[in-house]
Amino acid sequence: MSHPIDVVVTGLGATTPLGGDAPTTWAAALAGESGARPFENDWVEKYGLPVTFAATIKVTPDEVLPRPEIKRMDPSAQYAIIAAREAWADAGSPEVDGERLGAVVSSGIGGIWTTLDGWDTLREKGARRILPMTVPMLMPNSPSAYVSLEFGAKAGAHALVSACASGAEAIGYGVEMIRTGRADVVIAGGTEATIHPMPIAAFAASRTLSLRNDDPTGASRPYDTDRDGFVIGEGAGVVVLESAAHAAARGARVYGRIAGVGLSADGYHITSPEPSGDGQIRAMNSALAESGVAASDIVHVNAHATSTVVGDLIEARSVRGVLGEDSDHVALSATKSMTGHLLGGAGALETIFTVLALHDRQAPPTINVENPDPELVLDLVRDKPRALPEGDIAAINNSFGFGGHNVALVVTSA
Protein backbone atom coordinates (compact mmCIF):
# COMPACT_ATOMS: atom_id res chain seq x y z
CA MET A 1 0.00 0.00 0.00
CA SER A 2 1.43 3.33 -0.97
CA HIS A 3 1.58 6.34 1.29
CA PRO A 4 -1.51 8.60 1.18
CA ILE A 5 0.59 11.71 0.50
CA ASP A 6 2.19 11.47 -2.91
CA VAL A 7 5.50 13.34 -3.29
CA VAL A 8 6.57 14.43 -6.75
CA VAL A 9 9.72 15.96 -8.21
CA THR A 10 9.09 19.24 -10.01
CA GLY A 11 12.54 20.79 -10.30
CA LEU A 12 16.09 19.58 -10.95
CA GLY A 13 19.44 21.30 -10.52
CA ALA A 14 23.05 20.16 -10.53
CA THR A 15 26.62 21.26 -10.92
CA THR A 16 28.94 18.33 -11.44
CA PRO A 17 32.14 17.07 -13.08
CA LEU A 18 30.05 16.54 -16.23
CA GLY A 19 28.40 19.94 -16.48
CA GLY A 20 27.32 23.17 -14.84
CA ASP A 21 23.63 22.26 -14.81
CA ALA A 22 21.32 19.25 -14.74
CA PRO A 23 20.53 19.01 -18.49
CA THR A 24 24.22 19.26 -19.49
CA THR A 25 25.16 16.70 -16.85
CA TRP A 26 22.44 14.29 -17.96
CA ALA A 27 23.34 14.65 -21.66
CA ALA A 28 27.00 13.96 -20.85
CA ALA A 29 26.02 10.91 -18.79
CA LEU A 30 23.90 9.52 -21.62
CA ALA A 31 26.85 10.13 -23.95
CA GLY A 32 29.11 8.13 -21.63
CA GLU A 33 31.55 10.95 -20.84
CA SER A 34 33.97 10.88 -17.94
CA GLY A 35 34.47 13.83 -15.60
CA ALA A 36 37.83 12.61 -14.30
CA ARG A 37 40.92 14.72 -15.06
CA PRO A 38 44.50 15.03 -13.84
CA PHE A 39 45.20 17.66 -11.16
CA GLU A 40 46.36 20.96 -12.61
CA ASN A 41 48.37 21.93 -9.56
CA ASP A 42 51.47 20.98 -7.58
CA TRP A 43 49.78 18.72 -5.03
CA VAL A 44 51.38 15.53 -6.22
CA GLU A 45 54.92 16.92 -6.18
CA LYS A 46 54.38 18.98 -3.05
CA TYR A 47 52.63 16.45 -0.83
CA GLY A 48 53.45 13.13 -2.46
CA LEU A 49 49.79 12.31 -3.14
CA PRO A 50 49.53 8.78 -4.49
CA VAL A 51 46.53 9.80 -6.62
CA THR A 52 47.05 12.32 -9.42
CA PHE A 53 43.50 12.95 -10.64
CA ALA A 54 39.90 13.55 -9.61
CA ALA A 55 36.49 14.31 -11.08
CA THR A 56 36.61 18.06 -10.55
CA ILE A 57 33.69 20.38 -11.12
CA LYS A 58 33.19 21.27 -14.80
CA VAL A 59 32.03 24.88 -14.34
CA THR A 60 33.72 26.56 -11.40
CA PRO A 61 31.57 28.80 -9.17
CA ASP A 62 33.60 31.91 -10.00
CA GLU A 63 32.16 31.65 -13.51
CA VAL A 64 28.64 31.75 -12.08
CA LEU A 65 28.46 33.49 -8.72
CA PRO A 66 29.25 37.11 -7.84
CA ARG A 67 32.44 37.70 -5.87
CA PRO A 68 30.80 38.49 -2.49
CA GLU A 69 28.94 35.15 -2.57
CA ILE A 70 32.16 33.30 -3.34
CA LYS A 71 33.77 34.96 -0.33
CA ARG A 72 31.05 34.12 2.15
CA MET A 73 30.38 30.51 1.19
CA ASP A 74 32.54 27.43 1.34
CA PRO A 75 32.70 25.73 -2.09
CA SER A 76 30.30 23.07 -0.76
CA ALA A 77 27.67 25.78 -0.19
CA GLN A 78 28.51 27.46 -3.49
CA TYR A 79 27.75 24.24 -5.38
CA ALA A 80 24.54 23.77 -3.40
CA ILE A 81 23.27 27.28 -4.05
CA ILE A 82 24.04 27.00 -7.79
CA ALA A 83 22.11 23.71 -8.00
CA ALA A 84 19.27 25.00 -5.79
CA ARG A 85 18.76 28.11 -7.93
CA GLU A 86 18.58 25.96 -11.03
CA ALA A 87 16.13 23.51 -9.43
CA TRP A 88 13.92 26.30 -8.14
CA ALA A 89 13.80 28.06 -11.52
CA ASP A 90 13.22 24.70 -13.21
CA ALA A 91 10.22 24.13 -10.92
CA GLY A 92 8.80 27.46 -12.09
CA SER A 93 9.72 29.33 -8.87
CA PRO A 94 6.64 28.04 -7.02
CA GLU A 95 4.57 30.45 -4.99
CA VAL A 96 4.57 28.97 -1.52
CA ASP A 97 4.21 30.32 2.00
CA GLY A 98 7.69 30.28 3.58
CA GLU A 99 6.33 28.37 6.58
CA ARG A 100 5.32 25.57 4.19
CA LEU A 101 8.71 25.47 2.44
CA GLY A 102 11.59 23.33 3.71
CA ALA A 103 15.30 23.09 2.89
CA VAL A 104 17.22 19.85 3.38
CA VAL A 105 20.71 20.01 1.92
CA SER A 106 23.40 17.68 3.17
CA SER A 107 27.13 17.41 2.88
CA GLY A 108 29.03 14.34 3.92
CA ILE A 109 32.08 16.22 5.13
CA GLY A 110 31.14 19.91 5.43
CA GLY A 111 33.19 23.03 4.80
CA ILE A 112 36.57 21.38 4.83
CA TRP A 113 38.24 23.93 2.53
CA THR A 114 37.24 26.66 4.98
CA THR A 115 38.37 24.62 7.97
CA LEU A 116 41.77 23.87 6.48
CA ASP A 117 42.27 27.37 5.04
CA GLY A 118 41.50 28.75 8.49
CA TRP A 119 44.05 26.45 10.07
CA ASP A 120 46.66 27.52 7.50
CA THR A 121 45.92 31.19 8.22
CA LEU A 122 46.13 30.63 11.97
CA ARG A 123 49.51 28.96 11.72
CA GLU A 124 50.95 31.45 9.23
CA LYS A 125 49.48 34.71 10.48
CA GLY A 126 47.91 34.17 13.91
CA ALA A 127 44.42 34.42 15.39
CA ARG A 128 43.86 38.05 14.46
CA ARG A 129 43.73 37.16 10.74
CA ILE A 130 40.96 34.54 10.98
CA LEU A 131 37.92 35.92 9.16
CA PRO A 132 34.63 36.30 11.04
CA MET A 133 32.73 34.25 8.42
CA THR A 134 34.86 31.17 9.12
CA VAL A 135 32.36 29.40 11.39
CA PRO A 136 29.26 30.00 9.25
CA MET A 137 31.26 28.80 6.26
CA LEU A 138 32.68 25.61 7.75
CA MET A 139 29.59 24.37 9.58
CA PRO A 140 28.09 21.37 7.80
CA ASN A 141 24.61 22.89 7.86
CA SER A 142 25.86 25.92 5.92
CA PRO A 143 24.57 24.76 2.49
CA SER A 144 21.16 24.01 4.00
CA ALA A 145 21.11 27.36 5.80
CA TYR A 146 22.04 29.32 2.69
CA VAL A 147 19.31 27.57 0.68
CA SER A 148 16.83 28.34 3.45
CA LEU A 149 17.89 32.01 3.46
CA GLU A 150 17.79 32.35 -0.30
CA PHE A 151 14.27 31.00 -0.73
CA GLY A 152 12.80 31.94 2.65
CA ALA A 153 12.32 28.28 3.62
CA LYS A 154 10.98 28.47 7.17
CA ALA A 155 9.29 25.10 7.70
CA GLY A 156 12.71 23.77 8.65
CA ALA A 157 16.28 23.70 7.38
CA HIS A 158 18.11 20.44 7.92
CA ALA A 159 21.41 18.81 7.09
CA LEU A 160 21.50 15.08 7.62
CA VAL A 161 24.99 13.67 7.66
CA SER A 162 25.60 10.07 6.65
CA ALA A 163 28.81 10.19 4.58
CA CYS A 164 28.14 9.07 1.02
CA ALA A 165 24.46 8.43 1.69
CA SER A 166 23.87 12.05 2.81
CA GLY A 167 22.39 13.37 -0.44
CA ALA A 168 19.86 10.54 -0.70
CA GLU A 169 19.03 10.79 2.98
CA ALA A 170 18.35 14.52 2.52
CA ILE A 171 15.86 13.77 -0.24
CA GLY A 172 14.31 11.05 1.90
CA TYR A 173 13.93 13.46 4.78
CA GLY A 174 12.42 16.03 2.42
CA VAL A 175 9.82 13.45 1.41
CA GLU A 176 9.08 12.80 5.09
CA MET A 177 8.66 16.54 5.79
CA ILE A 178 5.91 16.60 3.17
CA ARG A 179 4.34 13.31 4.28
CA THR A 180 4.21 14.34 7.93
CA GLY A 181 2.52 17.60 6.96
CA ARG A 182 5.39 19.93 7.90
CA ALA A 183 5.81 21.31 4.38
CA ASP A 184 4.21 21.41 0.95
CA VAL A 185 7.44 22.04 -0.93
CA VAL A 186 11.01 21.07 0.01
CA ILE A 187 14.27 21.96 -1.68
CA ALA A 188 16.41 18.88 -1.05
CA GLY A 189 19.77 17.58 -2.13
CA GLY A 190 23.41 17.03 -1.37
CA THR A 191 26.72 18.69 -2.02
CA GLU A 192 30.42 18.08 -1.55
CA ALA A 193 33.65 19.98 -2.16
CA THR A 194 36.41 17.78 -0.84
CA ILE A 195 39.02 17.89 -3.58
CA HIS A 196 41.70 19.28 -1.29
CA PRO A 197 45.02 17.45 -0.77
CA MET A 198 44.36 16.54 2.87
CA PRO A 199 41.10 14.61 2.39
CA ILE A 200 42.49 13.06 -0.79
CA ALA A 201 45.52 11.86 1.16
CA ALA A 202 43.15 10.59 3.86
CA PHE A 203 40.92 8.68 1.44
CA ALA A 204 44.03 7.26 -0.18
CA ALA A 205 45.25 6.20 3.27
CA SER A 206 42.04 4.24 3.75
CA ARG A 207 42.91 2.43 0.50
CA THR A 208 39.58 3.24 -1.11
CA LEU A 209 40.74 5.43 -4.05
CA SER A 210 41.62 4.15 -7.50
CA LEU A 211 45.34 4.51 -8.25
CA ARG A 212 44.91 4.23 -12.01
CA ASN A 213 46.95 7.39 -12.54
CA ASP A 214 47.86 6.58 -16.13
CA ASP A 215 44.19 6.48 -17.14
CA PRO A 216 41.99 8.93 -15.17
CA THR A 217 38.92 8.62 -17.41
CA GLY A 218 39.15 4.82 -17.24
CA ALA A 219 39.69 4.66 -13.48
CA SER A 220 36.11 4.51 -12.23
CA ARG A 221 34.97 1.10 -13.49
CA PRO A 222 32.26 -0.39 -11.28
CA TYR A 223 31.79 -4.12 -11.85
CA ASP A 224 34.88 -4.43 -14.05
CA THR A 225 37.24 -7.18 -12.92
CA ASP A 226 40.10 -4.65 -12.75
CA ARG A 227 38.32 -2.06 -10.60
CA ASP A 228 40.59 -0.77 -7.84
CA GLY A 229 38.67 1.90 -5.94
CA PHE A 230 36.61 5.05 -6.40
CA VAL A 231 37.44 8.32 -8.12
CA ILE A 232 36.78 11.29 -5.88
CA GLY A 233 34.35 13.80 -7.36
CA GLU A 234 32.67 17.00 -6.30
CA GLY A 235 29.52 18.96 -6.97
CA ALA A 236 25.88 19.10 -5.97
CA GLY A 237 22.46 17.84 -6.94
CA VAL A 238 19.25 19.47 -5.73
CA VAL A 239 15.61 18.66 -6.41
CA VAL A 240 12.35 20.43 -5.67
CA LEU A 241 9.97 18.02 -3.94
CA GLU A 242 6.33 18.84 -3.72
CA SER A 243 3.14 17.21 -2.57
CA ALA A 244 1.32 15.97 -5.64
CA ALA A 245 -1.70 18.05 -4.62
CA HIS A 246 0.36 21.24 -4.41
CA ALA A 247 2.04 20.55 -7.75
CA ALA A 248 -1.29 19.78 -9.43
CA ALA A 249 -2.92 22.92 -8.02
CA ARG A 250 -0.30 25.12 -9.68
CA GLY A 251 -0.11 23.08 -12.86
CA ALA A 252 3.54 22.17 -12.32
CA ARG A 253 5.46 19.86 -14.61
CA VAL A 254 6.12 16.58 -12.81
CA TYR A 255 9.28 14.63 -13.61
CA GLY A 256 8.47 11.67 -11.43
CA ARG A 257 7.70 10.73 -7.85
CA ILE A 258 9.69 9.59 -4.85
CA ALA A 259 7.37 6.79 -3.83
CA GLY A 260 9.34 5.13 -1.07
CA VAL A 261 12.19 5.89 1.30
CA GLY A 262 14.08 3.08 3.02
CA LEU A 263 16.69 3.64 5.70
CA SER A 264 18.82 1.23 7.67
CA ALA A 265 22.20 0.88 9.33
CA ASP A 266 24.60 -2.04 9.16
CA GLY A 267 25.81 -1.79 12.74
CA TYR A 268 28.81 -3.74 11.57
CA HIS A 269 31.98 -1.78 10.69
CA ILE A 270 33.01 1.87 10.39
CA THR A 271 34.01 1.58 6.73
CA SER A 272 33.32 -1.92 5.39
CA PRO A 273 29.85 -2.85 4.20
CA GLU A 274 28.29 -5.81 5.99
CA PRO A 275 29.11 -8.78 3.72
CA SER A 276 25.68 -10.41 3.57
CA GLY A 277 24.06 -7.13 2.47
CA ASP A 278 21.46 -7.46 5.23
CA GLY A 279 21.32 -3.70 5.89
CA GLN A 280 21.08 -2.83 2.20
CA ILE A 281 18.33 -5.41 1.71
CA ARG A 282 16.35 -4.02 4.64
CA ALA A 283 16.63 -0.49 3.22
CA MET A 284 15.41 -1.57 -0.23
CA ASN A 285 12.61 -3.69 1.22
CA SER A 286 11.32 -0.90 3.38
CA ALA A 287 11.46 1.58 0.47
CA LEU A 288 9.50 -0.88 -1.67
CA ALA A 289 6.97 -1.50 1.10
CA GLU A 290 6.36 2.21 1.58
CA SER A 291 6.05 2.79 -2.16
CA GLY A 292 3.50 0.08 -2.81
CA VAL A 293 5.53 -0.77 -5.91
CA ALA A 294 5.88 -4.48 -6.71
CA ALA A 295 9.32 -5.91 -7.41
CA SER A 296 8.05 -6.79 -10.87
CA ASP A 297 7.57 -3.08 -11.65
CA ILE A 298 11.24 -2.22 -11.01
CA VAL A 299 12.94 -1.82 -14.38
CA HIS A 300 16.06 0.12 -13.38
CA VAL A 301 18.49 0.43 -10.49
CA ASN A 302 20.97 3.25 -10.13
CA ALA A 303 23.57 1.47 -8.06
CA HIS A 304 25.70 3.04 -5.36
CA ALA A 305 28.57 1.05 -6.98
CA THR A 306 31.66 3.14 -6.31
CA SER A 307 34.10 0.81 -8.12
CA THR A 308 35.52 -0.81 -5.01
CA VAL A 309 36.40 -4.49 -5.10
CA VAL A 310 34.15 -5.57 -2.24
CA GLY A 311 31.31 -3.03 -2.20
CA ASP A 312 30.08 -3.39 -5.78
CA LEU A 313 29.37 -7.11 -5.51
CA ILE A 314 27.69 -6.93 -2.11
CA GLU A 315 25.25 -4.42 -3.55
CA ALA A 316 24.56 -6.48 -6.68
CA ARG A 317 23.80 -9.53 -4.55
CA SER A 318 21.57 -7.42 -2.29
CA VAL A 319 19.57 -6.18 -5.26
CA ARG A 320 19.07 -9.76 -6.40
CA GLY A 321 18.21 -10.71 -2.85
CA VAL A 322 15.40 -8.14 -2.82
CA LEU A 323 14.05 -8.50 -6.35
CA GLY A 324 14.73 -12.20 -6.90
CA GLU A 325 13.90 -13.32 -10.43
CA ASP A 326 12.47 -9.88 -11.13
CA SER A 327 16.05 -8.60 -11.20
CA ASP A 328 16.43 -10.30 -14.59
CA HIS A 329 14.56 -7.41 -16.23
CA VAL A 330 16.38 -4.66 -14.30
CA ALA A 331 18.75 -2.36 -16.18
CA LEU A 332 21.56 -1.70 -13.71
CA SER A 333 23.50 1.56 -14.13
CA ALA A 334 26.59 2.65 -12.22
CA THR A 335 26.88 6.32 -13.08
CA LYS A 336 29.88 6.93 -10.82
CA SER A 337 31.83 5.43 -13.72
CA MET A 338 31.30 8.83 -15.35
CA THR A 339 30.79 11.35 -12.55
CA GLY A 340 33.25 9.98 -10.03
CA HIS A 341 32.01 9.79 -6.46
CA LEU A 342 30.44 13.02 -5.26
CA LEU A 343 30.32 11.69 -1.66
CA GLY A 344 27.55 13.72 0.03
CA GLY A 345 26.39 14.93 -3.38
CA ALA A 346 26.25 11.47 -4.93
CA GLY A 347 22.88 10.26 -3.65
CA ALA A 348 21.19 13.46 -4.76
CA LEU A 349 22.77 13.52 -8.21
CA GLU A 350 21.91 9.84 -8.69
CA THR A 351 18.32 10.51 -7.65
CA ILE A 352 18.19 13.10 -10.42
CA PHE A 353 19.62 10.53 -12.83
CA THR A 354 17.05 7.96 -11.69
CA VAL A 355 14.17 10.41 -12.10
CA LEU A 356 15.40 11.41 -15.56
CA ALA A 357 15.99 7.79 -16.60
CA LEU A 358 12.31 7.02 -15.96
CA HIS A 359 11.15 10.33 -17.42
CA ASP A 360 13.19 9.95 -20.63
CA ARG A 361 12.86 6.13 -20.68
CA GLN A 362 16.61 5.72 -20.92
CA ALA A 363 18.89 4.02 -18.41
CA PRO A 364 22.29 5.74 -18.46
CA PRO A 365 25.38 3.73 -19.34
CA THR A 366 28.16 2.36 -17.17
CA ILE A 367 31.49 3.09 -18.83
CA ASN A 368 34.91 1.43 -18.57
CA VAL A 369 33.60 -2.11 -18.06
CA GLU A 370 35.89 -4.12 -20.29
CA ASN A 371 35.55 -7.40 -18.41
CA PRO A 372 32.43 -7.65 -16.28
CA ASP A 373 33.02 -9.30 -12.94
CA PRO A 374 31.86 -12.92 -13.39
CA GLU A 375 30.19 -12.72 -9.98
CA LEU A 376 27.94 -9.86 -11.11
CA VAL A 377 24.43 -11.26 -10.92
CA LEU A 378 22.62 -8.40 -12.65
CA ASP A 379 22.23 -7.00 -16.16
CA LEU A 380 24.60 -4.05 -16.40
CA VAL A 381 23.94 -1.26 -18.93
CA ARG A 382 27.30 -0.82 -20.61
CA ASP A 383 28.69 1.98 -22.79
CA LYS A 384 25.39 3.12 -24.33
CA PRO A 385 22.05 4.06 -22.76
CA ARG A 386 19.32 1.43 -22.82
CA ALA A 387 15.66 2.11 -23.59
CA LEU A 388 13.25 1.53 -20.70
CA PRO A 389 9.66 0.33 -21.23
CA GLU A 390 6.66 2.60 -21.69
CA GLY A 391 3.86 2.76 -19.15
CA ASP A 392 4.18 2.98 -15.36
CA ILE A 393 7.72 2.07 -14.43
CA ALA A 394 9.78 2.27 -11.27
CA ALA A 395 13.39 2.27 -10.19
CA ILE A 396 15.55 2.08 -7.09
CA ASN A 397 18.37 4.46 -6.26
CA ASN A 398 20.78 3.07 -3.68
CA SER A 399 23.20 5.12 -1.59
CA PHE A 400 25.45 3.76 1.12
CA GLY A 401 27.94 5.53 3.36
CA PHE A 402 30.97 4.97 5.56
CA GLY A 403 29.54 4.16 8.95
CA GLY A 404 27.08 1.62 7.58
CA HIS A 405 24.35 4.03 6.46
CA ASN A 406 21.98 2.61 3.83
CA VAL A 407 19.42 4.66 1.91
CA ALA A 408 17.19 3.30 -0.84
CA LEU A 409 14.73 5.48 -2.71
CA VAL A 410 11.99 4.04 -4.90
CA VAL A 411 11.28 6.40 -7.80
CA THR A 412 8.34 6.04 -10.15
CA SER A 413 7.50 7.61 -13.49
CA ALA A 414 5.15 10.58 -13.50
Q: Which positions are catalytic? A: 164
The amino acid at residue 396 is I
Any contact of residue 46 with other proteins (CB under 8 A)?
A: no
# of chain residues touching other proteins (CB under 8 A): 12
Instruction: Find, among 86, 102, 107, 56, the residue nearest to 352 by Cα.
Output: 86
Which of the stretches 19-27, 45-53, 130-138, 191-199 binds other proteins when contact is defined by CB under 8 A?
Answer: 130-138
Candidates 68, 251, 374, 391: give the one binding other proteins (CB under 8 A).
Answer: 68
CA distance 236 to 78: 9
Instruction: Find, among 61, 143, 68, the residue nearest to 109 by Cα.
Output: 143
Which of the stretches 50-58, 125-133, 204-212, 249-257 binds other proteins when contact is defined by CB under 8 A?
Answer: 125-133
Based on CB atoms, which residue is closest to other proteins, 66 or 391? 66
CA distance 365 to 346: 16
Q: Map residue 114 onto helix, strand or coil.
A: helix
Which of the stretches 84-92, 131-139, 164-172, 273-281 binds other proteins when contact is defined by CB under 8 A?
Answer: 131-139
Candidates 129, 207, 329, 384: give the one binding other proteins (CB under 8 A).
Answer: 129
Candidates 5, 44, 116, 133: give the one binding other proteins (CB under 8 A).
Answer: 133
The amino acid at residue 355 is V
Query: How many Cβ atoms sit within 10 Å of the Cβ of residue 254?
Result: 17
Based on CB atoms, which residue is closest to other proteins, 64 or 357? 64
* Residue 264 phi, psi dihedral angles, 5° rounding: -155, 170
85 Cβ neighbours under 8 A, 6+ residues apart: 13, 150
65 Cβ neighbours under 8 A, 6+ residues apart: 73, 78, 81, 82
At its nearest, how many Å lie between other proteins and the CB of residue 61? 15
CA distance 274 to 279: 7
Based on CB atoms, which residue is closest to other proteins, 134 or 213? 134
Query: How many Cβ atoms sit within 10 Å of the Cβ of residue 274?
Result: 18
* Residue 208 phi, psi dihedral angles, 5° rounding: -110, -10
Based on CB atoms, which residue is closest to other proteins, 127 or 270? 127
User: Per-residue string for binding with other proteins, 270-309, x by CB under 8 A?
Assistant: ----------------------------------------
DSSP class of residue 147? H
Based on CB atoms, which residue is closest to other proteins, 60 or 121? 121
Any contact of residue 132 with other proteins (CB under 8 A)?
A: yes
Any contact of residue 119 with other proteins (CB under 8 A)?
A: no
Any contact of residue 125 with other proteins (CB under 8 A)?
A: yes
Based on CB atoms, which residue is closest to other proteins, 129 or 269? 129
Q: Give contact residues for other proteins (rule: CB under 8 A).
A: 66-68, 71, 125, 128-133, 136
